Amino acid sequence: MLKITNLSKTYGKGDKGVRALDCVSLEVRAGEIFGFIGHNGAGKTTAIKSLTGVIPFDEGTVELDGISILKEPVAYKSQIAYIPDSPDLYESMTGIGFINFICDVFGVGEKEREERIKKYADAFELTKDLAARISSYSHGMKQKLAIISALCHAPKLLVLDEPFIGLDPKASHTLKTLMREVCDGGGAIFFSTHILEVAEKLCDRVAIIKSGRILKMGAMDEVIGDASLEELFLSLTAGEEERGERREES
């Protein structure tokens, strides 16, 4: 499915350059939920934006089923969906107008479109609000709309950056169920989260990143052993949160 090899990214030049990603390599297999864990400033969002084509990277390769994001960017991006932690939507559009716009971009047929919109909008209890303008939506409603739009074109790979932020408990449960459904259908999920209890229960495999490098990666039960994910994470990343905050302020 997704194969990332020696992915590197530096912000700035010379002595002032910051190595945000340093030869990151990982694979996300079909049918699995892969958790990407790290403090603020550890490199999570840079990696996510690199593998989705939002920003360019300096070195390495990113492929989805053998399709390179560098050599065949349109073919690559047609197979993925990316939902950032704070999705920027076209607020002058209605909810249904935005979903249809995304479906048009990805060439979703009328029958599949209608079935998927009903399924996912009903699941997130947003159906009655689809006729309203997005500018009237709360943050949680916008998050739901972004998720619905992503699911409606049935991506092979769903990339989520802090997907549970802004969602109420019921919507969070719905998202977890749908994430597993995507994987059971042969797709894959790559997501970051600070909610380590959720990651431990939900993920099949996990990678912990610190200062742009993968510290530990593998099947969840093998990685954590007799500890919890929270205990392992804190022991591996001691002192990293403070350094990450300083990098963000600079």
CATH label of the domain that carries residue 6: 3.40.50.300
Task: Kindly state whether residue 219 falls inside one of the protein's structural domains.
Answer: yes
CA distances from 246 to 79, 213, 214, 233 (A): 36, 18, 20, 20
Q: pLDDT tens digit string along 188-237?
A: 999 998 889 999 999 999 999 999 999 999 999 999 998 999 999 999 88
Instruction: Quickly state the pLDDT bin for 172 (edges 50, 70, 90).
Output: very high
Report whether pLDDT(133) > 80: yes
Global pTM value: 0.90
Task: Kindly state whether residue 47 falls inside one of the protein's structural domains.
Answer: yes
Give the residue-averaged pLDDT of 26-30.
97
pLDDT of residue 41: 86
**CA distance from start to end of the chain:** 36
Task: Kindly state whether residue 71 falls inside one of the protein's structural domains.
Answer: yes
- Provide the CA 221 distance to its chain's centre, in angstroms: 22
Task: Kindly state whether residue 32 falls inside one of the protein's structural domains.
Answer: yes
Locate the DSSP E strands across 129-236: 157-161, 188-192, 205-210, 213-219
Cα–Cα distance between 79 and 152 in angstroms, integer? 12
Task: Kindly state whether residue 61 falls inside one of the protein's structural domains.
Answer: yes
Task: Kindly state whether residue 66 falls inside one of the protein's structural domains.
Answer: yes
Quote the Cα angle for 168-169-173, to 5°.
120
Range of the domain at 63: 1-77+194-250
Task: Kindly state whether residue 86 falls inside one of the protein's structural domains.
Answer: no
pLDDT of residue 16: 78
Task: Kindly state whether residue 159 falls inside one of the protein's structural domains.
Answer: no
